[in-house]
Structure 1
Amino acid sequence: MEEELVRRRERVWEVCKASGLVSEDGTSKTEPNAWEFFIDERHHLVWCNVFKAASSSWMYNFNLLGERGYKEGYLRKSRKSPLTLARARFPRPTVQQLKAALPKSLSFLIVRDPFERLLSAYRNKIEGFRHKFYRKVAREMIAKFRLKTTPAPGAHRSSGIEKSPTFSEFVSWVISCAKKVHSRKSGTYSGIPGFDEHWAPYFRFCTPCAVNFTVIAKTETLAEDEEYIIEKTGIGPALGRTRQGREVRSRPREAVNAAVGGRTEDLLPRYYRTLRREQLDALYDIYQIDFKMFGYDATKYYEMVLQ
């Protein structure tokens, strides 16, 4: 396990250098994006919350941690979002606070295949106007791209959601937002309308070139990676686990953000085959550092798209 974690960190560092994200002296060219981090000083644990990558389960975990962790009964009944509850216990840190906490903490983030995460965000936030918060941006997608996007043969539209943005329209929106980012001198995604935290690239969102994470966990090896984190920090009892890792408390149903209509990984061909090659090329340009940094391969997606 230790050797694999070292390999993951080394890969990140090599990509940081190759991508020009660090200076010649090895320092990051940008400050850490401290706004998105959680710092649990009591357990010496630091987490960058990557949305759509096991974020629901770890948000739940952090709500149990802290000197005044919430009781499970309260979490079940509360109408407040898990993020709102967690931030009440773990306020957004400053850059200085994050830098002070990192040397004495186990720090981690969790990643998944970037294009799988992108589809998960689309299905959960945009498709079918399921979330009130995202309805406005979804309508903006339609207004901007519906007349400009020719529906591809076999384009997927689920029953009852014909009026919501297609995946192709969503991708065009993401690409347009990224162009706004690159036109900025800062090169950051903050303040760019529509470039949401649920699909912002990892290397910008969690700034791994500025933060040397102890653990780079992956959804593909999540069970093993999580057990390592729990064992090293000793948070098992607070999470209701025995030494063998068995959960002794039931987890509220709301803590698991299950996909509606099937697992995202099983639905990749259905959605990505609606994209054209030039769309995928532009999309890969946005996320290619994430692919390289965390060891993912985009080849299969090029086999799915329209030529």
Structure 2
Amino acid sequence: MMKNTPCPKTFFFLPQHWCDWSLKTRSTPPPAAVTSDPTHDPPPGHKDRPQGRGSRSPDWPQSQGRQRGAEPSTQSGRRRKLQEPEPPVRAQPREAAERRRLREVQQGRRRRVAQACRRYREAGGPRLLAPHHVSRIYVEEQYRLLYCEVPKAGCSNWKRVLMVLGGWAGSTAQIQHKAAHYGNSLRRLDSFDREGMWLRLRTYTKLLFVREPLERLVSAFRDKFEQPNAYYHPVFGTAIIARYRPNATQEALSTGSGVTFPEFVRYLLDSGRPVGMDIHWEPVSHLCSPCLVHYDFIGHFESLESEADSVLRLIGAPGNLTYPHFKDRHSWEERTSPRISHQYLAQLSPSDRHRAFHFYQSDYAMFNYPKPAAILD
């Protein structure tokens, strides 16, 4: 049995059991949160958990579960069923070893986030959860899953998975890009009232997938500025060219097309940037508030294929549902990789490379990504 460890003070608003997520299955409800702020007491009736298909505790299950046969139709058969319970299904050695490995990896990742958040709190970071902190979290009611959207870290396909889990589509291949991002199938956590938000944060599995920060930045630039885009070119592109390109042509100023990566990074690093932050390059530490929402599973984009399917098995998703890996936008273009990322970062001056790294320093610290080779050059 795992030894309980105290919740980091950063998470004082959150239940203790989130800091001791283990392979065991609880038979009692999680303890109530303790806080000195009366406005953040658990709402009345917080023990009444929403019910749904496949609902389960956000713990690692002991086994994947199995299909039970039909119950005996006679009274004697039912009695015999009670008197002779079936032995529990034991995981195969390879499955058990993989589950232990996953558990250890997740414990290490959550511990790393907690350590970074203690420093963040000491530096004056927010301590109380507000609706805007969960505005990027999507809710899947049937399987009791909360997923924080991180653009350029597999979010399009995760939304497809949520839609299939919720019964909005039969398979992820049926869901077009626009339907995944602009449809009305998925609901955000901040759309619930305070009691509904609290209840789901306490009882649902909370999922976050992250990506190497500067590689994610390069991916966002390639997607939004190197391809035709009816929003990012006229809104961001025109402002970037006007501010950071001397002697820009009238065509560039009017269309916003042709933004270079160095120009884009200058905009990113400018505290007086002409247009605001965007979720495609906002740090995950701000986007998903991991110092206020204690995520049960922190996945890495670099091992997305195996970790995403592990999540689906852990929440009891249908066996035929796997995480999709198709690319339905700019499918002809090579995916952003460490090699491609290095090529783009090499376009920057050494000073701008280091400043870009420091812009995402909280993400590097929280999610244990090493300093990129382009920064070390």
Q: 1:193 aligns with which of 275, 281, 295?
A: 275
2:181 alignment partner AA: L
Letter in 2 for 1:125: K
Inter-partner Cα distance in structure 2 for 1:99 and 1:291: 29
* Aligned-residue offset at 1:163: 5.5
Q: From the superposition, tell whether residues 214 and 148 of structure 1 become closer, same or farther in structure 2 (CA, over 3 Å).
A: farther
Residue 107, structure 1, aligned to residue 206, structure 2: yes
In 1, Cα distance between the equivalents of 2:352 and 2:113? Answer: 26
TM-score, normalization: structure 1? 0.76
- Please say which structure displays the higher CA radius of gyration: 2
Q: 1:139 to 1:259 in 2, by over 3 A?
A: farther
TM-score, L = length of structure 2: 0.63
Which aligned pairs between 1:187-266 and structure 2 lie closer than 5 A?
193-237=275-319, 240-241=320-321, 255=328, 258=331, 260-266=333-339
Residue 64 of structure 1 is matched in structure 2 by: 164
Q: Flag structure 2 segments of 5+ consecutive residues without an equivalent.
A: 1-101, 249-255
TM alignment of 1:1-307, pairs within 5 A: 1-20=102-121, 28-29=127-128, 31=130, 33-66=133-166, 68-72=167-171, 75-76=174-175, 80-85=178-183, 88-94=184-190, 96=194, 97-128=196-227, 130-136=228-234, 137-147=236-246, 164-176=258-270, 179-180=271-272, 193-237=275-319, 240-241=320-321, 255=328, 258=331, 260-304=333-377
Letter in 2 for 1:54: G
CA distance in 1, matches of 2:177, 2:285: 32
Q: For the residues of structure 1 that align with 2:340 and 2:219, how far apart are their CA atoms? A: 10
The Cα of 1:266 is off from its aligned counterpart by: 2.3
CA distance in 2, matches of 1:44, 1:255: 28
* Deviation, structure 1 residue 69: 1.5
Deviation, structure 1 residue 55: 1.1
Q: 1:83-141: CA deviations, max 9, x gaps?
A: 122xx12222227333320221111110010000000000001124x211111111211
Offset of residue 261 of structure 1: 4.2
Q: Deviations over 1:225-251 (max 9, x none)?
A: 2122111111134xx33xxx6x8xxx6
Shift of 1:278: 1.9
Partner deviation per Cα, 1:5-59 (whole Å, 9 max, x = no partner): 01100100100111236879xx835536221111112101110010000112112
SS in 2 for 1:284: helix
Greater helix percent: which structure?
1
Deviation of 1:195 (Å): 1.2
Mapped contact 1:28–1:210 kept (Cα < 8 A): yes
Q: Structure 1: how far apart are the matches of 2:148 and 2:177?
A: 24
Structure 1 122/80 Cα, relative in aligned 2: closer, same or farther at 3 Å?
closer
2:230 corresponds to which letter in structure 1?
K
- RMSD of aligned residue pairs (Cα, Å): 3.0
C-alpha contact 2:238 2:257 (8 A) present in aligned 1: no
- Report the Cα offset of residue 257 of structure 1: 6.7
Q: Larger RCO: Structure 1 or Structure 2 (Cα < 8 Å, ≥ 6 residues apart)?
A: 1
**Contact persistence 2:283–2:363 (CA under 8 A):** yes
Report how far residue 264 of structure 1 moved: 3.2
Overall identity of the aligned pairs, in %: 23
Which amino acid in 2 is paired with 1:20? R
Whichever residue aligns with residue 168 of structure 1, its letter is P
CA separation of 1:100/1:256 partners in 2, compared to 1, >3 Å: closer, same or farther?
A: farther
The answer to whether the Cα contact below 8 Å between 1:22 and 1:209 also exists between their aligned partners in 2 is no
Q: Distance in 1 between matches of 2:162 and 2:315?
A: 13
Whether contact under 8 Å (1:15, 1:293) holds in the other structure is yes
User: 1:148, CA displacement in angstroms?
Assistant: 9.1
Higher mean alpha-carbon deviation, 115-124 vs 36-45, is at: 36-45
Aligned residues: 264
Give me the whole-angstrom Cα distance separating, in 2, the residues matched to 1:266 and 1:44. Answer: 38
Q: Give the deviation of 1:270 after TM superposition.
A: 1.7
Q: In 2, distance between residues paired with 1:200 and 1:142?
A: 20
- The C-alpha deviation readout for 1:274-294, integer Å capped at 9, x for no partner, is 111221232222210000100
**Conserved? CA contact 1:60–1:255, under 8 Å:** no
Maintained 8 Å contact 2:121/2:127: no
Distance 1:74 1:229, change over 3 A: closer
SS at match of 1:212: coil
